Amino acid sequence: MDAFAALAPVSEAYAHLPVAEAFDWSRVGRQLGTGEWYLVAFRSIRRLDADEVRLSEFDDRAHHEAQSSPGFVHYFKGPAEADRSCLSFCLWTSRAEARAASGRPAHIEAVSVIHEMYERYTLEFVRVTGREGSPLQFEPYDAVPAADLAGISLPVFGLPPVQGAPSAS
């Protein structure tokens, strides 16, 4: 079974929790295994007068488009809670692939209605790291990745290796 299919918010307050705490990631971590991914979280408060049908149409088109994009792993469309808060996210194999997909037509169209549909929103960019036998780790993408116990640094997406730089070992 696809572990992502069973991924659900841990409580009605999920949209106010850090992404790492908003879901039970244990099964997803086992499915993903060892590696590093790029997660874009979209936190929002919907307007009282938001057209939910229209919003869903834009979101569904952008989701369908993302699924056909290189590097796409999973999209979680969060439910709106009683306070109109919501947390959705998209997981990618790399930042570069996520950025490329954000320039595709359906995503640009979805972004065009943000101010019409939301009172406020924030984007979070998260590095997700999986290591065998350990829970997934979540950290702000721009944070320097921690070295593993063997002293080997994880790659930083989008940055080529520096010539002549000392190795991590």
Residue 149 lies in a domain: no
Kind plus residue range of the DSSP H or E element containing 99? helix 95-102
Supply the CATH number for residue 128's domain: 3.30.70.100
Residue 155 lies in a domain: no
- pLDDT for 168 beyond 60: no
Given the structure tokens 């969060």, which residue do they identify? 78
CA distance 45 to 150: 43
Residue 74 lies in a domain: yes
Residue 8 lies in a domain: no
Tell me the per-residue pLDDT of 79-125, one tens digit each, with 9 for 90 and over.
Answer: 999 999 999 999 999 999 999 999 999 999 999 999 999 999 999 99
85-104 burial: b if 16+ Cβ within 10 Å, else e: bbbbbbbbbbbebbeebbee
Tell me the per-residue pLDDT of 148-166, one tens digit each, with 9 for 90 and over.
Answer: 444 544 444 444 444 444 4
Residue 76 lies in a domain: yes
Residue 145 lies in a domain: no
Q: Which residues contact 163 (CB under 8 A, 6 or more apart)?
A: none
Tell me the per-residue pLDDT of 14-23, one tens digit each, with 9 for 90 and over.
Answer: 999 999 999 9
Residue 123 lies in a domain: yes
Residue 164 lies in a domain: no
CA angle 103, 28, 56 (to 5 degrees): 45
pLDDT of residue 146: 57
Q: What is the SS3 assignment for 104?
A: coil
Work out how many domains the chain is built from and give that number: 1
Average confidence (pLDDT) over 130-137: 92
Residue 75, phi-psi category: left (phi > 0), alpha (psi -120 to 50), beta (remainder): beta
> Where in the sequence is the domain holding 70, given as residue range(s)?
35-140
* pTM score over 0.75: yes
